[in-house]
Amino acid sequence: MPLLPAELLHKRYRIVSLLAAGPYGATYRAYDQTDRRDVAIKEYLDPSVEIQRRFRAEARRLAALDHPQLPATLDHFALDNGQYLVSAYVEGVDLGSLLAQYGPLPSDLIVPWLQAACRPLVYLHAQKQLHLNVKPANVRLTPTGDVFLVDSGLPGLGVRPHAAGFGAPEQQAQGEAGPLADIYSMGATLYALLTGRTPPNALSRETGLSDLTPAREVNPDVEPYLSIVAGRAMSLRADTRYETVDDFARALERPAGRPAPVVSPLRRAGPEPTAAAPPPRRAARSASAAAWSGGRSLPWPRGRSSCWPSPPFCWSPTCASRSRSPARRRQRRCNRPSSPP
């Protein structure tokens, strides 16, 4: 069972919330009571000695990374139930949450977001490291508009974790995975953001149990070239994908001569608001007065603010209200006109 909010981990980190959970553990948002700041804690539930050795080596490699779009690694430790990696918490919202809230997102926003997410991935590959956990939920937008790539898959542990639909076939088969596996995940992320759907499992595609429907067929608003880019990046054969992340980022740029999509100056989630219908006009007479008058049009009482008197206060000489005393009559008739119509 994942850790609950307010639990104290390692006598230092107080759990705030659960960010994600998977087959190998969970990721939490926590508060560092020593340094007084928010942190993200990645949990790996395997207490074996060999995994502890690999985990320490992986933590040292991550701590040596220095890129403005990667969260800094701050601490790591082992407990009886597993290993824990502590990194800086990145404020903002992830693309997975935006996808759940708004559905398919506009391409003029997707392209710069993913191109920005490619920069830390290029840096990782230059350092001979992989991410192996690229998906919309791990691309975060900060309040200042910066893009971060978070929650590495810890490839140095010897396993190939992946989210359903976003892992390359060689990664899911626990085979030898390289930078092209991250390119597949970037293509799957592009596909999900364009269509609002999680791509089919790569191994299911290999066995013929499912097919990858082109993004433009799922969402006709997708620009054709982006549908082609997503399809090539998600190729089942690694040698037919883009060779580098830089190539993938360049492919996201709109081809020369193709017009940019028309963007409303004021975006709204959903249809444009319509003007509210005007309130119904107040009836000239009450229903009882209309029934009393027999449908005849009667003059409005001059100098009075209320509607026409109700039927019991008619002006017939035989009416009971006429036969009462003047004081009683004045009390009863209230807003009646001073003379009969």
Residue identified by tokens 């069972």 is 1
Confidence of residue 24 (pLDDT cuts 50, 70, 90): confident
Average pLDDT over residues 265-294: 56
Task: Report the alpha-carbon distance of residue 43 to residue 21 in Å, rounded.
Answer: 9
Q: What is the mean pLDDT of residues 261-286?
A: 59
Q: Do residues 109 and 30 touch, judged by C-beta distance below 8 A?
A: no
Q: Indicate the helix (H) or strand (E) that contains 252.
A: none
Mean pLDDT, all residues of the chain: 83
Statement: residue 305 has pLDDT above 50: no
DSSP string, 55-96: HHHHHHHHHT---TTSPPEEEEEEETTEEEEEEE---SEEHH
pLDDT at residue 52 tops 50: yes
User: What CA–CA distance (Å, rounded) separates 332 from 337?
Assistant: 13
At 182-193, the pLDDT tens digits run 999 999 999 999
Residues 6+ apart with CB under 8 A from 277: none
Over range 64-77, report the average pLDDT.
96
Pairing between strand 139-141 and 93-94? antiparallel
pLDDT at 4 over 90: yes
- Token pair for 114: 């993913």
- Cβ-in-10-Å burial (0-12, 13-18, 19+) of 63 comes to middle
Alpha-carbon span 138 to 167, nearest angstrom: 13
β pairing state of 13-22 and 25-32:
antiparallel
Whole-angstrom CA distances from 117 to 27, 58, 141, 146, 190 are 20, 22, 10, 10, 11
Helix (H) or strand (E) holding 204: helix 202-206
* pLDDT tens-digit readout, 99-136: 999 999 999 999 999 999 999 999 999 999 999 999 99
Using the predicted structure, report yes or no on whether residue 270 has a pLDDT greater than 60. no
pLDDT tens readout for residues 206-230: 999 999 999 999 999 999 999 999 9
Q: Is the separation of the CB atoms in 191 and 184 below 8 Å? A: no
Q: Which residues contact 25 (CB under 8 A, 6 or more apart)?
A: 42, 43, 44, 45, 82
* C-alpha–C-alpha distance, residues 38 and 72, integer Å: 12
On the 0-12 / 13-18 / 19+ scale of CB atoms within 10 A, 85 is buried
Other C-beta atoms closer than 10 Å to the C-beta of 90 total 20
Dist CA 89 CA 66 (whole Å): 16
The single-letter code of the amino acid at 97 is S
- Stated as kind and residue range, the H or E segment containing 26 is strand 25-32
Ordered structural domains, the chain, with CATH? 6-89 (3.30.200.20), 92-255 (1.10.510.10)
CA distance 86 to 336: 82
Identify the pLDDT of residue 176. 83
Structure confidence at residue 160 (pLDDT):
62
